[in-house]
Amino acid sequence: MARLPYLPHTDADIQAMLDKIGVKKLDELYSDVPAEFLHKGVYALPPAMSEQEIRDCFASLEAMNAKLKVFVGAGAYDHYTPAVIPYLCARSEFLTAYTPYQCEISQGTLRYIFEYQSLICALTGLDVSNASLYDGPTAAAEAMKMAVACTRKKTRVLLSRGLLPHVMEVVETYARFHGVQIGYVPVMNGQTCPNCLKAELAKDDVAGVIVPSINRYGIVEDHTGFADAIHAQKGLLIEYCDPSALAVVKTPGEWDADIAIGDGQPLGLPLSYGGPYVGFMAVKKEHMRKMPGRIVGQTVDKEGRRVFVLTLQAREQHIKREKATSNICSNESLMALWVTIYLSLMGPEGLKEVNKLSTDGAHYLYGELLKTGQFEEVFPGKPFLKEFVLKPKQAGLQERLEKAGFFAALPTEEGYVSFCVTEKRTKAEIDALVKAVKEG
Amino acid sequence: MKYYDKLIFECSREGRCGYSLPRNAFPAAGELPAALRRQAPLALPQVSEPDVVRHYTNLSQMNFGVDTGFYPLGSCTMKYNPKINEEMAALQGFQGLHPLMPARLTEGACKVYEEMDKALAAITGMYKFTFAPCAGAHGELTGLMLMRQYHINRGDLKRTKVIVPDSAHGTNPASAAVCGLEVVEVKSLANGRIDVEALKPLLTDEVAGIMMTNPNTLGLFETEIGTIAALVHAAGGLLYYDGANMNPLMGVVRPGDMGFDIMHLNLHKTFSTPHGGGGPGSGPVGVARKLVDCLPAIRVSAFHGNFGVILRAYAYILALGQEHLRKVGQYAVLSANYIKESLKDVYKLPIEGVCKHEFVFDGLINDGAHDDVPGATTLDVAKRLLDYGFHAPTIYFPLLFHQALMIEPTETESKETIDAFIEVMRKIAAEAAQDPNILHDAPHNTPISRPDETTAARNPILKYQENS
Amino acid sequence: MSKIIEGLKYSQSHEWVKVEGNIAYIGVTDFAQKEMGDITYVDMPEEGDDVIAGEEFGALESVKASSELISPVSGTVVLVNGELEDAPEKVNEDAYGAWIIKVEMSLPSELDALMDAAAYKAHIGE
């Protein structure tokens, strides 16, 4: 049998180690396991593959996937990834380290997390960011728990129906088990309804309200008056944001939100069939001690040099156990590095340019699609950036476009179809998509 | 490793950029209404591409990873991360898939999930896995939600307590609390195992189940697991298996056969995917057949979990195959016992006997305390290890021992590496006996010395400010 | 040796109470602050909150630990020591000067269940 290259043990090594332990066979190391639990059968696994066989196997799996131009967003955006990022993130000093428990040999990780926190604060306009969470929806669920912990006597959290469906489902799942009541604020005219919000707030039991900065229809929402109304009831305003768009749209800080959350995926992370992504969370300073997740802080070492450490740890599960606000242990560190490098490369102008290219492309597509006569406008005149919905006059558009090489026209539950354009989509691709629509 | 002091913000110069974007071929869209526009300046750094590359390369050089050296961090299973896994996860045909693509467009990805499900079921004896959870703690929470859902589906609504051993990782009670369960602690015996007699009276009709790690956090096999499973099941409860310690059981024992109904695995521990400085991981949850109906009611993450991590784990499973699976468990256990036996004359071993993949010392036998000089603590030993080029073990966990030092070597370390570690651990013990101050002041050879953590917590500085 | 002050009341969980009529000042003992080490944060209730004897009203945090504060009496918090928000080290420097909350007691007879200085000295075994 071929050896596995990951296992360095020679027969002589094994024998010497067994001798030191004072047992004769490897099996004796399991003498404490009752015999009934030692697996006697054969494990139903394929035979071991060599490296080339693994490559071949993956190549055949890869070939089973369709290769389409992506014109869909809905929570995962096909933005461009600068070549530098995967190159640097593959450095094994970053890749093969764990949570920076030993700060003396983890300053690399700790520094980039500190940079990441600073960048998230810059984007959101809030005071304090954690070291990242799993993804956008779980960040929303954490924010929901946090709102209840911060406001104590309040028991209900409101969700705007403008949030992406999968965000709502995750929050609902967490709420059901954590014992938080969920209420809803409907969308009217393509935007979270302010009067409905006020009616819900009047019940005086609202710990927090989660609203989308850009909603599931791609519309940039106007949250004028939301913070005042919510704060008057001692609740928290929680903004769910696309961090890429924060370069151009009003920030959670500018809306006077208490918590900003969202998925970092639009910041150059590959689609990767849904993960790994990275959730972000930033809060006003007064809430920082109720924030879940790791946090990195700056201090000095014995020689007075600027150094970084995990800090405010008394909030966390390994100290507070069942009294911790969250069970989160780690972060999505490597993806936080990815985001950090992305934002460093793009800078303020690059990120604005990404928005400009995507927005201009999306508006061009919107206009061209309307010209085909096969769609009705759903929210005429409402402001959008890279994503929008239309009402198709004929069914089956998504499948037809697939055959032409596009993943586009994603059906929504209201019977609309959703499109998204990023800076990766060229004018030629958009024209080809429109042609495919016309040809039906 | 050398100290490098810059932050990316300090590399910034007005007018530099590190991006390359296409020319805009579109007519300009109208501007957003002013009320919806960002007014605040966007304080991102402005840095050229070479500056970015050099900065992060410099940062990386202050880091220690598995590829740098031995990383015996107990309960974290810091095994070697095969490079073929990275190559497979980077394939464009997987990276380019949108998560909302219907199955007809993603047959290859769907096949990976199917095959992973089958393989993990074979390895663990569970019936079906969900891959949505993004980490171990996330899997744990998902597992507990499934536990509650099972009782709810049966109309058994009063089961709101969960039993957790006192040796459990802090995540267990924290996950239980997030899931709305009340934690009931069960004590351990002097031999480190759950006290079955203490468990019996706790098993009321309000108990949803028990959370266990087996081997437990002391690295000891819970020998009474058969009895415990029978008792919990008889009381109407379920058994949850925390897969953090699955590595020693690979190819030898299956949690499903021990009576566990729900479990999570850490693909980033047992299945060799890189820890990435704290993530991304993946924490798939397996359930017994009777819980399959509970799966659809639980949605815990955005889409299909951390697909990129699952691809890596699949490549690893293909490399292991039937033939090598058992060696993973056996060699991990062999290495742990070898280190334990080689050091127990200088470090306190609180519980004798064969361990599994890890074990816990309770500090030094001779800590060198004399006159006014305090003895060397576990923290001191850990910091001194850094001087000698090793990562430290897990320290001060589990909480059952005051000077806990938890060592997990994994199966991918050679005997030479392990012998070098043993030699250094003995040397440190000798240093402590002679002059504990050498240890108190450690580390000496790292890019930084011990930080002032008290000031960091009292006056938190959590983001970059100019001239800070 | 930890400092113990005559005339104060003490709880099993190492809080002290200074009584002024119907008002109780509550802090932690010198013994408790030593056990805790460098205190990095004092988690305090809000003014107007009710506290209940034997129940948690806040926590002391150090770098690696969190310790519950248990109220020795029941009543309403009329004032919290805002100074500790920015300077938690004051608890380390002068445990008996750094009161944490000022409570208007609803059941002053609860004070009878607390220890005097001598009993507390025996309690901590010094």
Instruction: Please name the residues in contact with C98: beta carbons below 8 A apart, sequence gap of 6 or more.
Output: C27, C81, C83, C84, C90, C91
Contact C118, C36 (CB under 8 A): no
Check which CATH number belongs to the domain holding B228 and give it: 3.40.640.10
Q: How many angstroms separate the CA of residue A395 from the nearest CA in chain B? A: 17
- Quote the pLDDT of residue B49: 98
Alpha-carbon span A26 to A34, nearest angstrom: 16
Task: State the helix-helix crossing angle for B378-387 and B415-434, rounded to 10 degrees.
Answer: 120
Pair of tokens at residue B200 = 């019996």
CA distances from A377 to A186, A215, A216, B30, B323 (A): 20, 17, 16, 17, 60
Overall average pLDDT of the C95-103 stretch: 95
Rg of chain A over CA atoms, in angstroms?
25
Q: How many domains in chain C?
A: 1
The range of the structural domain enclosing residue C31 comes to: 9-106
Q: Is residue A319's pLDDT more than 80?
A: no
Q: Is residue B398 within 8 Å of residue B218, measured between CB atoms? A: yes
Residues 6+ apart with CB under 8 A from B306: A275, A276, B134, B280, B281, B282
Per the listing, tokens 């031995």 go with B70
Strand order in the sheet with C75-80: C9-10, C15-20, C23-28, C101-105, C75-80, C50-51
Task: Report d(CA B173, CA A321) in Å as an integer.
Answer: 5
Cβ distance of A250 and B414 shorter than 8 Å: no
Nearest CA to A417 out of A433, A394, A385 is that of A394
pLDDT at A79: 98
Give all strands (DSSP E) within A164-300, no chain letters.
Answer: 181-185, 187-188, 191-192, 206-212, 236-241, 259-263, 279-283, 296-300
CB-nearest to A97 from B63, B138, B382 is: B63
Nearest-Cα distance to chain A for B450, in Å, is 5
Residue B302 near residue A263, CB atoms below 8 Å: yes
Please report the residues numbered 150 through 189 in chain A whose beta carbons come closer than 8 angstroms to any beta carbon of chain B.
166-167, 169-170, 172-174, 177-179
Domain extent, residue B386, equals: 327-454
Same-domain status, B439 and B302: no
CA distance A232 to A221: 21
Predicted local confidence at residue A48, as pLDDT:
96
B121/B116 Cα distance (integer angstroms): 8
**Which stretches of C1-126 are DSSP H helices?**
30-36, 83-86, 89-93, 117-124
Task: Give the burial class of B70: count Cβ atoms within 10 A of its Cβ; 0-12 exposed, 13-18 middle, 19 or more buried.
Answer: buried
Answer yes or no: do B153 and B298 share one domain: yes
**Mean per-residue pLDDT, A67-90:** 98
**In this structure, are strands A236-241 and A206-212 parallel, antiparallel, or unpaired?**
parallel
Copy the structure tokens of residue A234. Answer: 């001692």
Using the beta-carbon criterion (under 8 Å), do A320 and C62 form an inter-chain contact?
no
- Would you put residue A398 in left (φ > 0), alpha (ψ -120 to 50) or beta? alpha
Whether B198 and chain A come into contact, CB under 8 Å, resolves to: no
Q: How far apart are CA C97 and CA B253, in angstroms?
A: 59
Tell me: the pLDDT tens digits for A332-372?
999 999 999 999 999 999 999 999 999 999 999 999 999 99
**Global ipTM:** 0.97
Q: Does B452 touch chain C (CB under 8 A)?
A: no
B302 and B215 in a common domain: yes
Tell me what the pLDDT averaged over chain A comes to: 96
The two three-digit tokens of residue A300, written as one number: 């000095």
Number of domains chain B is built from: 2
Q: How far apart are CA A78 and CA A274, in angstroms?
A: 11
Q: Class assignment of domain A84-340?
A: alpha beta
Q: CA of B41: how far to CAs of A224, A248, A282, B177, in Å?
A: 20, 10, 18, 41
Residue A221 region, left (φ>0) first, then alpha (ψ -120 to 50), else beta? beta
Residue B4 lies inside a defined structural domain of this protein: no
Tokens of A308: 């970084």
Q: How many CB atoms lie within 10 A of CB A364?
A: 21
B384 and B444 share one domain: yes
Same domain (yes/no): B347, B448: yes
In a domain, C125, yes or no: no
For residue A318, the model assigns a pLDDT of: 75
* Helix ranges, B1-101 (H): 49-60, 83-89, 92-95
pLDDT exceeds 70 at position A53: yes
Partners of chain C (3+ Cβ pairs below 8 A): A, B
Q: What is the domain-level CATH number for residue C73?
A: 2.40.50.100
CATH code for the domain in which residue B402 is found: 3.90.1150.10
B 351-380: CB under 8 A from A = 353-354
CB contact under 8 A, B396 and C38: no
Residue with tokens 């020693």: B248
A234–chain B Cβ distance below 8 A for any pair: no
Residues contacting B337, CB < 8 A, separation 6+ = A17, A21, A29, B354, B355, B359
Closest CA to B13 of B62, B38, B50: B50
Same domain, B277 and B358: no
The partner residues of A407 in beta bridges, in order of sequence, read: A70
Chain C residues with CB-CB distance to A320 below 8 A: 66
Does A404 have pLDDT greater than 90?
A: yes
In this prediction, residue A98 carries a pLDDT of 95
pLDDT, residue B467, reads 60
From B320, B335, B358, give the residue that closes a domain: B320
Residue ending a domain, among B299, B320, B341, is B320
Q: What is the mean pLDDT of residues A369-397?
A: 97
Q: Is the pLDDT of residue A1 over 70?
A: no
Residue B47 is assigned to a structural domain of this protein: no
What distance in Å separates residue B394's CA from the closest CA in chain C? Answer: 14
Q: Is B446 on the interface with A (CB under 8 A)?
A: yes
- Residues B260, B334 within the same domain: no
Q: Quick one: how many helices (H) and strands (E) in chain B?
A: 13, 10
Quick check: C82 contacting A, CB < 8 Å? Answer: no
Q: Given this model, what pLDDT does residue A322 score?
A: 76
Q: Which pLDDT band holds residue A329 (cuts at 50, 70, 90)? A: confident
Q: What fold is seen in the domain A69-80+348-439?
A: Aspartate Aminotransferase, domain 1 (3.90.1150)
Q: Is residue B9 part of a domain?
A: no
Any bridge partners for residue B106, and if so which? A65
Is residue A406 scored above 80 in pLDDT? yes
Taking CB atoms and an 8 Å cut-off, how many pairs form between chains B and C? Answer: 17
CB A115 within 8 A of CB A145: no
- Whether B380 and B258 map to the same domain: the answer is no
The number of angstroms, rounded, from the C-alpha of B254 to the middle of its chain's C-alpha atoms is 20
> Are residues B153 and B274 part of one domain?
yes
pLDDT at B398: 86
C-alpha R_g of chain B: 25
Residue C55 has a pLDDT of 93
The dihedral built from the CA positions of residue C80, C81, C87 and C90, taken in this order, carries a sign that is: negative
Same domain, B313 and B388: no
The residue of chain A nearest to residue B86, with distances taken between CA atoms, is: A90
In a domain, C101, yes or no: yes
Cis peptide before B443 (omega within 30 of 0): yes
Set of chain C residues whose Cβ sits within 8 Å of the Cβ of A314: 40-41, 59, 61-66
Category of B427 on φ-ψ map: left (φ > 0), alpha (ψ -120 to 50) or beta? alpha
Q: Which amino acid is at A438?
A: K
Which chains reach chain A with 3 or more Cβ–Cβ distances below 8 angstroms?
B, C
Sketch the domain layout of chain A as residue ranges.
69-80+348-439, 84-340
pLDDT at B107: 98
In order along its 468 residues, chain B shows pLDDT tens digits of 889 999 999 999 999 999 999 999 999 998 999 999 999 999 999 999 999 999 999 999 999 999 999 999 999 999 999 999 999 999 999 999 999 999 999 999 999 999 999 999 999 999 999 999 999 999 999 999 999 999 999 999 999 999 999 988 888 999 999 999 999 999 999 999 999 999 999 999 999 999 999 999 999 999 999 999 999 999 999 999 999 999 999 999 999 999 999 999 999 999 999 999 999 999 999 999 999 999 999 999 999 999 999 999 999 999 999 999 999 999 999 999 999 999 999 999 999 999 999 999 999 999 999 988 999 999 999 999 999 999 999 999 888 899 999 999 999 999 999 999 999 999 999 999 999 999 999 999 999 999 999 999 999 999 998 764
Answer with the one of B302, B320, B338 that is the final residue of a domain.
B320
Query: In angstroms, rounded to a whole number, what is the distance separating the alpha carbons of residues C115 and B439?
Result: 42
**Locus of tokens 């009329």:** C78
**Does residue A2 have a pLDDT over 90?**
no
| pLDDT at residue B442, as a whole number | 95
In a domain, B408, yes or no: yes
> Which chain B residues contact residue A250 at CB under 8 A?
35-39
> Does B298 share its domain with B341?
no
Residue B314 identity (one-letter amino acid): Y
Q: What is the mean pLDDT of residues A69-78?
A: 98
Same domain, B282 and B347: no
Rg (CA), chain C: 13
Lowest-pLDDT choice from A224-228, B238-242, C2-6:
C2-6
Q: Which residues contact residue A195 at a Cβ distance below 8 angstroms, ignoring those fewer than 6 apart?
A: none
**Type of residue found at A408:** A
Please say whether the beta carbons of A272 and B307 come within 8 A: yes
Residue A313 and residue C63: Cβ atoms within 8 Å?
A: yes
Q: What span, in angstroms and rounded, lies between the C-alpha atoms of B139 and B175?
A: 9
For residue B114, the distance in angstroms to the closest alpha carbon of chain A comes to 12
